[in-house]
Chains A and B, each alone.
Chain A
Amino acid sequence: MSTDGHQEGAAVAVERLLVPLSDTVTVRQTVGYAVQSGLEDADSLECHLVVAMPYDADVPESDRYRDDAENLLSRAQSWVEEDAGTADVTIETATIGVDEYLFGPRDYAEIFDAYAADHGIDRVVIDPEYQPGVTAQLLQPLERELERIGLTYEEAPVERPARRGRLVGETEDFDRLFATFWISYGFYLVLGDPTYWFDLLTGAAVAGIVAVSLAQVTFTVPLDRVQSPIRVVRFAIYVPYLLWEIIKANIAVSAVILRPSMPIDPSLSRVNSRVRSGLPLTALANSITLTPGTLTVRATNQELLVHSLIPDAREDLFDGGLERGIRFVFYGRAAAAIPSPRERDDAEIVGGEEL
């Protein structure tokens, strides 16, 4: 790869691209598009591949984050080399945001802007699925922030895995509107009087406003017309099981607290759960917290740091009953039959310094 391409030709002939990377299914295509489009406009290309570290990268697990980032960068570098062929392409890689505590889309937009200013970037190419470590989908707010800052960006026109095209995107929006509307209408009517015309009318108006303004933030994951209702039903089956677990744990904890000697045995353990980030992990972490005796202190990606008060509660956690329940809710009965965290070696007791 030539490094001095931009000094030979006219200054305009060098295109400097910034490509923020995250580990998604479309990252390969994004890199490919960036190289191709960059070489169309200019003779030589300077391709800056960066990974932005998310806000929670400074926790002890950060080594893994850093390894993942390095890994991704080296893969991306080889992709660029592969796509560039004989063309004049310079590659720069960087990990940014390590000391910045990135949290919201604004932080990301600002750090990209700062990087662009430092390196004279002409254009930013963004992966449509871009999602740096955090659970919420970031693309739309990020684009808004980039526009606000005035940084030129472009969304790579990748082919997403099936059912995610433009057209389907509209039915997806419709699904969100539809679901939000009926949920808020139902809630309104429960509080009001479903037989009184005034409540029906005002409820419809309010639900309409709520649906239009909030549908996009209510569901971060696209709804599935078949799966989503089934999940609601399975969740209704899960609730009695959760209640039973809560009652058992309550009695155990009460017995310990009321005994004058109070034989508690607090410990911290780390559990690698086998549920996806986002709603399933939230549901699992909340179920664990709701059960007295276990308390989720931290939830990063799939790793839960759990404080347990008594050995019995820790044993229950390692047996993974709640995890199976959550897997049943989100993935179905077949997925629920997995080995417990203890059997898979995914659970360990850690010291206080892990916090």
Chain B
Amino acid sequence: MIETLQFWAVVVLLGLGVFFTFVSTVGVLRLPDIYARAHTASQTDTLGAGFALAAVAVAFGWQQATVYSVLLLFFVFITNPTAAHAIARSAAETGVEPLLTEDPDDADDDANTAVESEGEVQ
């Protein structure tokens, strides 16, 4: 019984991990510029790796390998935003122009009118 439960937990977690990594890969291939790609790359680092490593931890049960998986996750979480930020910043500094929506004002006129009128100052 416990084993069946463990099995399905692993399948579900791994499936979610593969799904989010898939979305992230699609995003990196599809999105138009480096800044937008950096967003979706962080999906692999967070939920993709997170769910997959959680599956590994569940499979190993409560032993040292679980501690390893948690440590791995911890490192991935700490390091990847740093890397993503470094990459985005280096792109900004080497003059890569971001693709922005032409006019932020008519992009959406709902709740954020106050903020957007602030944005017109540019």
Contacts and interface: CB of A to CB of B under 8 A. Distances in A.
A296 B100 contact: no
Contact of A349 (B35, B43, B111, B116): B116
Contact of B107 (A247, A265, A291): A265
Interface residues of A, number: 47
Interface of A: 190-191, 246-247, 250, 253-254, 257-258, 262, 264-269, 285-287, 289-299, 307, 309, 311, 314-315, 318, 342, 345, 347-355
Contacts of B39: 253, 292-295, 307, 309
B14 interface: no
Interface string B79-122: 01110110011001001011111001001100110111011011
A348 B88 contact: no
A318 B110 CA distance: 14
19 contacts: A246-B47, A253-B39, A254-B23, A265-B101, A287-B81, A289-B81, A289-B85, A290-B46, A291-B42, A294-B39, A298-B89, A307-B98, A309-B40, A314-B112, A347-B115, A348-B121, A349-B115, A349-B119, A351-B100
Contact of B98 (A247, A292, A352): A352
Given A264-B36, A315-B111, 10 more contacts: A266-B33, A266-B98, A285-B85, A291-B42, A298-B92, A307-B36, A307-B39, A307-B88, A347-B115, A347-B118
A215 to B, nearest CB: 20
A262 B30 contact: yes
The B interface, classified by DSSP as helix, strand, loop or mixed, is: helix
Contacts of A291: 42
Nearest to A296: B85
Contacts of A265: 101, 107-108
Nearest to B97: A352
A239 to B, nearest CB: 9
